[in-house]
A and B are shown apart, each in its own frame.
Chain A
């Protein structure tokens, strides 16, 4: 009897929830390089690049949501502005959108606590969340990803990338021109190759284990987070590391770090081979470790 009551209760809750939602579907003929601006206060947003010159928005939002998806025009459009705002926090969490865009599209997405996933876009992505996470698959030409709380994971090698968080952790795999900055999140860069990169944190740990292209430029900077750098022995970059109060551990070569003036802080300078690139490491009080990959 108890099981029946529980089942009925579950069905009732589910029905209420379903009743409070409505489907969203809109399709537009667009140019291959269309610019899409989407503001969506929903729980999840998925952006998928495809080989069609059309944008299709589909999903579920809470009833009572303010939805402005525009009217499809007669011909292919070069720009779209889409807007979904849910009435309550609960409604936000229940909403879910999938946006299919031409691969070469430029997508600007702003949302609150949504978990955003983007993949197969080779154009540009500008993703901005507060509490949700951002995951990007593939390698867009330009990527800007900003989050306050949420984690940002870039599982690709964009040509140009800037990632910023306040407390969220950042994971990336390299690229041509990479910048990542956080206050207290961690930065984990591993698995790929990089040409120019600057990673900075205030208190978060920085871990770097990327291959370097010829003549690569690598900069890492922190106030108090530890910096752990692993470098491939194929390249012989010039290394210039300095701390204000922290120690430097050199497991990369036999050169010993030098203790700074007044016995505080350390510096380490290692000459590099031709075209081996340059690695600059700066820390106030976070320990720096340099070692082989």
Chain B
């Protein structure tokens, strides 16, 4: 009958023959206890100190770099830069937390793209700049309207979706505008 035994049955036979307990090696426990023992105050202290120092350095370096870029952008911007009204200055306190975070991220992207667009403004055709600005005003107006409605009804998911989509379309438009070829 053994020729008809299925692989599963055979496996069951083999596993049944195995011991149900395995004693650990006698020298294993000291090593585990060493790993579980609380770290000394000194170790934790220095770890934290190093981490804080590294974080401080990182923040200082990023801040300096961002400031440098911002200053350069300002220096290189033409005198006529203050172009488009920014209708959607965010007041993030009144939005739901996740949307406030999203909005801050969007605004950072918008600012960066605006700086790039301002730098390239003189190389674009006036009609193109006019089209872009007109469309951005429409996008800003839609964002402001959705934002205002969200403040009244923060749990409205449809509204939240529309708010986010309006921002994404605006950012996409800005991105495309920054990628236009000169004199177009």
Which residues on A are within 8 Å of B, measured CB to CB?
Answer: 39, 41, 110-113, 130-131, 146, 148-149, 164, 166-167, 181, 183-184, 200, 202-203, 221, 223-224, 242-245, 261-262, 265, 282-285
Contact = CB atoms under 8 A, between A and B. Distances in A.
Interface string B155-175: 010110110011001001100
The DSSP consensus for interface residues of chain B is helix
Contacts, number: 93
B146 interface: yes
B77 interface: no
A284 B169 contact: no
User: Lowest 4 CB-CB distances: which A-B pairs, in order?
Assistant: A112-B184, A223-B142, A166-B135, A183-B135
Contact of B184 (A113, A202, A221, A243): A113
Contacts of B94: none
Given A184-B135, A223-B146, A284-B145, 15 more contacts: A112-B181, A112-B184, A130-B128, A130-B131, A164-B172, A166-B131, A166-B132, A183-B138, A200-B165, A223-B162, A244-B146, A244-B149, A244-B158, A283-B162, A284-B149
Contacts of A113: 184
A167 B156 contact: no
Taking chain A's interface residues, is the majority helix, strand, or loop, or is none over half, making it mixed? loop
Contacts of A166: 131-132, 135, 173, 176
A206 to B, nearest CB: 13
10 contacts: A112-B125, A130-B180, A148-B132, A148-B135, A148-B177, A166-B132, A223-B145, A244-B159, A282-B162, A284-B162
B74 interface: no
B181 A110 contact: yes
Interface in B131-153: 131-132, 134-135, 138-139, 142, 145-146, 149, 153
Contacts of B177: 148
Contacts of A221: 161-162, 165
A190 B68 CA distance: 51
A107 to B, nearest CB: 16
A176 to B, nearest CB: 22
A63 B142 CA distance: 46
Given A131-B127, A221-B165, A244-B158, A167 B145 contact: no
A183 B184 contact: no
